[in-house]
Amino acid sequence: GPALAQDCDANQLAQDINDASPVAVPRVFLKLVECDEAVAVTSAPLAMSKTLHGEEGNRALLACLKIGAQTSAQDWIDSLEPDHRSQSILWIGEQCDDVSAIGDFFVDSAKGDMAEVFLKERWYRGMSHCKLPAVQDLLRAMVETPDKATTKEQLFGYMEVYARNLGAAAVPYLKKFTSEQTDVKEQQLALNAFSDAANVGSMSGMDMKAAEASIAAIHDLGPNLAPSATSQARDTLLALGDEAGADSFAKYRWPERMQDGNYLYGVYAKEIATCKKEKMQGVFHYGIFTEPGAEWPDALEMDIEGKATAAWGLELAEKCGGEGTVTIRITPEPLETPEALEEWVKAHITTFNGETTDFHKAEISLEETTAY
- 252-279 pLDDT per residue, tens: 999 999 999 999 999 999 999 999 999 9
By the 8 A CB rule, do 362 and 281 touch? yes
By the 8 A CB rule, do 264 and 335 touch? yes
Q: State the pLDDT at residue 7.
A: 66
The one-letter code for the residue type at 362 is A
pLDDT in tens, 110-143: 998 899 999 999 999 999 999 999 999 999 999 9
Three-class secondary structure of residue 27 per DSSP: helix
Mean pLDDT, the chain, as a whole number?
94
Would the pLDDT of 195 be above 70? yes
Distance CA 84, CA 76 (A): 11
Would the pLDDT of 6 be above 60? no
Distances (CA, A) of 77 to 62, 108, 112: 11, 14, 15
Nearest by Cα to 98 from 138, 131, 72: 131
DSSP 238: H
Would the pLDDT of 87 be above 60? yes
Nearest by Cα to 230 from 217, 242, 218, 243: 218
Nearest by Cα to 333 from 280, 281, 255: 255
Instruction: State the burial class of residue 292 (Cβ atoms within 10 Å of its Cβ: 0-12, 13-18, 19+).
Output: middle
Question: What DSSP assignment string belongs to 63-97?
Answer: HHHHHT-HHHHHHHHHHS-HHHHHHHHHHHHHTTT
Other Cβ atoms within 10 Å of 17 Cβ, number: 22
The distance in angstroms from the start CA to the end CA of the chain is: 75
Three-class secondary structure of residue 324 per DSSP: strand
Average pLDDT, integer, range 324-338: 97
DSSP 52: P
Q: State the pLDDT at residue 202.
A: 82
Q: State the pLDDT at residue 356.
A: 96
- According to DSSP, the residues that pair with 290 across neighbouring strands are 264, 371
Would the pLDDT of 4 be above 60? no
Band of the pLDDT at 1, cuts 50, 70, 90? Answer: very low
pLDDT in tens, 21-70: 999 999 999 999 999 999 999 999 999 999 999 999 999 999 999 999 99
pLDDT > 90: percent of the chain: 94
By the 8 A CB rule, do 363 and 283 touch? yes
Q: State the pLDDT at residue 142.
A: 96
The one-letter code for the residue type at 307 is K
Would the pLDDT of 180 be above 70? yes
Distances (CA, A) of 250 to 170, 228, 258, 291, 307: 26, 11, 11, 10, 19
Q: State the pLDDT at residue 98.
A: 86
pLDDT > 70: percent of the chain: 98
What is the sign, positive or negative, of the torsion defined by CA atoms of 139, 162, 150, 112? positive
Q: State the pLDDT at residue 3.
A: 42
Q: State the pLDDT at residue 5.
A: 44
Would the pLDDT of 2 be above 60? no
